[in-house]
Structure 1
Amino acid sequence: MEIEGPLARLPRPAVMVRGETVASYLWRLAERNGMRFEELARHIGAPRTIRPADPRTEEVRLGPLARQRLAEVSGRPLAQLAQALVSLEHSRITARARRQVQIEPWPENELSVQSCELCAAGRSERPVWRVRGEQWAVCVRHRRWTATAGGNVQIGLEQLPEVVDAHVRRARLERRTGPYARALMADAQQVAVYWWQCRQMAWRGVWRSRQEALGVDRSALWAVPLVVYPEAVAVAEAMAVRERQRAVGRSFAGGPAGWSTGRWTAWVGERLGMVEEMADGGHRALEAWLMAHRNTVPVAARQAQQEERAVPRSVPLPLLEPHRVIAPHGRLEEASCLPWRLGSPMTSTSFGQQGLAAP
């Protein structure tokens, strides 16, 4: 594609939305200026045969020249576009490629999620689709849960304020812990999934109440991450405390006598207000996690560094085994080291690596 000169800025810019997909932004920018999607795409370098992209299931990949032309017509600096459109630079198209605009389907585990409808109200006539880091998202401002479940799910959380509060705590955990927080949240969600599928912990109490508030039963698997979310965040916070100790080779709570695996799992049960349920079998999932995250620093080395403190909460944690690579997008469960999956039978094979048996 040859560049004849800078393109003129379109008269009506589209409001930038953090995390929006390129396909969604192109649709909004086109309609904002009375253009068809194909017309705008060809304007920035697409072939004549380009078709409209489906922002629910497809992404538009732009080469360097097309990205520059999009910056020109949108009236936005390229760096600002890249900051908002987080997938903009995730393209293998080179500057020498003839096709600078290509439409690609999202992998099934990375389908985009519709942004909160209330956030988009007054800012866009079309739905806003965002690159998802997970299968769902929480809008703290409007107290809404958005997800994909054979359609678009937008749920008000007025009856479930604890979900919004948990999301605020999770954001704080991510700021303090850094990228490793995604792995901890993934593991914590899998622990909660184990409890939910084995009917342990909160299944008769708060989880049943949340299902009733949502008007769903146990067959609605898409709702499970929402139902268990507050407890999963609490578990992730407890895991972060344990990992800060492990990062310096120390046992939980610095290694005083008595702080064994059993003491840590009991402490988690206390935090959740479910001490009896934890003792009756809920501890198994946490023990599977502890086995995968066991302290590999030799005892002699640990004794030699007894005075070393755990990593302060304000300092991001380094990536620890078994999480050396953490994908920033996709299903949250895929970032977990725990083998079981929501909807799959809970058998002893799920614990093969840890040597534990399902209840």
Structure 2
Amino acid sequence: MGALRPLPYRVPLIDGESTGSYITRLAIRHGESVGHLLATVGEGKSAAEVDPRLSELYLNAAARQRLAALGGRPLAQLTRALASLRDEHLLPGRPETAEWKWPWRPHSGFLVRGCALCAARRGVFDTVWLIRPDPWHICVRHGRFHDTSRDDRMPFVDLSPGPHVVQAEHRRIHLVRRLGPVGRLLVADAFAVLAHPEGLLPRLGTSRTTPLRLLPAAIHLAHRMAGLERLRLDHRLVHSDYSRWLKKAQGDLGQRLSVALEHWSQLHKPLQLPPLPHCRAARVQVRDYRQPASPHLRAVPEMAPVNALTCLRWDVLARDRHPYG
């Protein structure tokens, strides 16, 4: 394939948008079919003319470069906005051959409706679909809850009657921004604690609005966990810290979660330090705190759901493919 000239019109980028949603908007803006644009991007196959609300479009590195050229965008700008174009989600392939694939279902993550008011602020009035690690998204700017529902009659849930949910989402964003991958792991562990059978709480995925009920408690718990985890990763955790933390957490969250909380704390025991004289040099410093450690994965996949991130494994795992959501 030869060099591409950019299309006449550049469509605005939406942070977190799926690649399929973006190329659909690009095609609509230029009065072309998605299939025609894809033929320009590279060689590939799809299950059908896939609706962007149903599945995600994946490219290899060469096709990604061609899409950036077609849209008139620097590659770095495009990959910042479209998560599925980042390196970890690229299709394998020969560097000289541009290829794409549009399967029946996303390889990872969930397609969640984007906030129409946020899109309109960018001059976008078509429906936007985001690719997210969780099957929901809360717009803190406009107080709207969006999920994977494709029902255009009720595209969102208005959260103005429940401002505590928006406040909890603000706290979640701040926690993940401050702690990075560790923050995501702690949020996943908090949802997993709430999923313990003795807690008698609904689990993620049991109804559309379950996340709204669980999120404030989960984020409160994740902040509690962060205090203990900070001591652990700084190699300052001692036995008395466990008992003090557990007693305070149980007081906040109730005795029904005692078993789950104790289980979590026991999995997060002090890290083993290397033998002297290298011990001091190996200590985890504040600037290094964004890195996860045992019992969690060293690498935190961008689109991993709760059940893939948490270190907790309850008996619900044996009964449900997606036990937490």
TM-score over 0.5 for the pair: yes
User: 1:56–1:111: 8 Å Cα contact kept in structure 2?
Assistant: no
Over 3 Å counting, the alpha-carbon distance change for 1:44 and 1:15 in structure 2 is same
Alignment equivalent of 1:165, drawn from 161, 164, 167: 167
> Does residue 264 of structure 1 match 2:262?
no
Match of 1:127 in 2: 127
Report which stretch shifted further, 169-178 or 261-270. Answer: 261-270
RMSD: 3.5
- Residue from 304, 312, 316 that aligns with 1:338: 312
**Percent of aligned pairs with the same residue?**
31
- Within 5 A, what are the aligned runs for 1:176-191? 176-191=178-193
Question: 5 Å matches for 1:17-166?
Answer: 17-46=14-43, 51-89=48-86, 90-97=90-97, 100-107=99-106, 110-121=109-120, 123-148=123-148, 154-166=156-168
Alignment length (residue pairs)? 310
Residue 53 of structure 1 contacts residue 60 of structure 1 at CA under 8 Å; is this kept in 2?
Answer: no
Structure 1 stretches lacking a partner, 5+ long = 208-217, 351-359
Q: Deviations over 1:243-289 (max 9, x none)?
A: 1111233336xx6xxx353421221245x4x5xx33xx321110010
Report deviation, 1:330: 3.0
Which structure has the greater CA radius of gyration? Answer: 1
Gaps of 5+ in 2: none
The one-letter amino acid paired with 2:134 is E
| Secondary structure at 1:131 match in 2 | strand
* TM-fit CA distance, 1:310: 8.8
- Residues 189 and 225, structure 1, Cα contact 8 Å, conserved in 2: no
Match status 1:198 vs 2:198: yes
Q: Please give the TM-score of this superposition, normalised by the length of structure 2.
A: 0.81
Deviation at 1:318, TM superposition (A): 3.1
Aligned positions of 1:207-356 closer than 5 A = 220-251=206-237, 259=240, 261-270=242-251, 272=252, 274=253, 277-278=254-255, 281-297=256-272, 312=286, 316-325=289-298, 326-340=300-314
Instruction: Tell me the SS of whatever aligns to 1:91.
Output: coil
Contact 1:187/1:236 (<8 A) preserved: yes
Amino acid at match of 2:146: T
C-alpha distance in structure 2 between counterparts of 1:19 and 1:192, whole Å: 28
User: Structure 1 residue 151: deviation in Å?
Assistant: 5.5
Distance verdict in 2 for CA 1:319–1:69, change over 3 Å: closer
How far apart in 2 are the matches of 1:267 and 1:286? 11
Whether the 8 Å CA contact 1:21–1:85 is kept in 2: the answer is: yes
